Amino acid sequence: MSDPVRLAKRVIELTGCSRLEAEQYIEGGWVRVDGELIDEPQFMVSGQQVELDANAQLAPTEPATLLLHKPSGFDSVDGPQPAAPLLNADSRWQDDPTGIRFLRRHFARQTAVMPLERDASGLLVYTQDGRLLRRIGEDADRIEQEFVVEVAGEIKPYGLRQLALGLHYQGRAPAPAKVSWQNETRLRFAMKGVRDGQITAMCAEVGLQVVSIKRLRIGRVSLAKMPIGQWRYLPGNERL
């Protein structure tokens, strides 16, 4: 049995490519070890069979952005029930239309963008893309979010108008919102600069109790028909 070497070195021996090219092949998910896809250039191999996919392409690995349908009761960032472990190979939406190659490295160092409060469900974005994180940090209050809110109780006279004009929350000036009845017990909100607890507080001011909150959309990206607890990739041509 040969001495263990880094997978990148073995790919160099097999193909005659450079070290950078070998690492790009591996990180791009084009290399298998005994039939198993390995995307870590430092992975150690000895006598295993190493194969480079015949369709392998040389390209730097782009940071991944993942869209999760978060269930109620899971924490977006910190908390006893974090949502991040829901991002795994088994929970990828089978109808993910992106065609992006699945890589284990896509789950490393993911950061939640525009977190969703614990008791709410719906669209939650995780990303490795530093550019997206910076842009969201600067523009979060200018990006519209859409929610469907299940409510109980009887709305006060002109309550819908009050919700649409905006209500003060935590000392912040009200921001106008688009609010409409979806049916007898569901309101649809489209608003910017949403804070945790804000929709619940707004509804309480007009006599309504919130039963559930579900985020349907962030900017131009929607939850669509993705099942609860599943995720898909955000392709490069789809922007928040």
Instruction: Read off the pLDDT of residues 140-195 as tens digits, 9 standing for 90 and up.
Output: 999 999 999 999 999 999 999 999 998 888 888 777 899 999 999 999 999 999 99
CB count, 10 Å around CB of 199?
26
Torsion of the alpha carbons at 203, 205, 207 and 212, rounded to the nearest 10: 20
pTM of the model: 0.84
Instruction: Read off the pLDDT of residues 81-122 as tens digits, 9 standing for 90 and up.
Output: 999 999 999 999 999 999 888 888 899 889 999 999 999 999
Using only C-alpha atoms, the chain has a radius of gyration, in whole angstroms, of 23
Intra-chain end-to-end CA distance of the chain, in Å: 51
- Of 198, 200, 196, 195, nearest to 210 by C-alpha is 200
CA distance 167 to 180: 16
- Residue 204 has a pLDDT of 96
Domains belonging to the chain, first-starting first, are 5-52 (3.10.290.10), 65-140+221-233 (3.30.70.580), 144-218 (3.30.70.1560)
- Of 167, 224, 155, nearest to 197 by C-alpha is 167
Phi-psi region of 29 (alpha: psi -120 to 50; beta: other; left: phi over 0): left
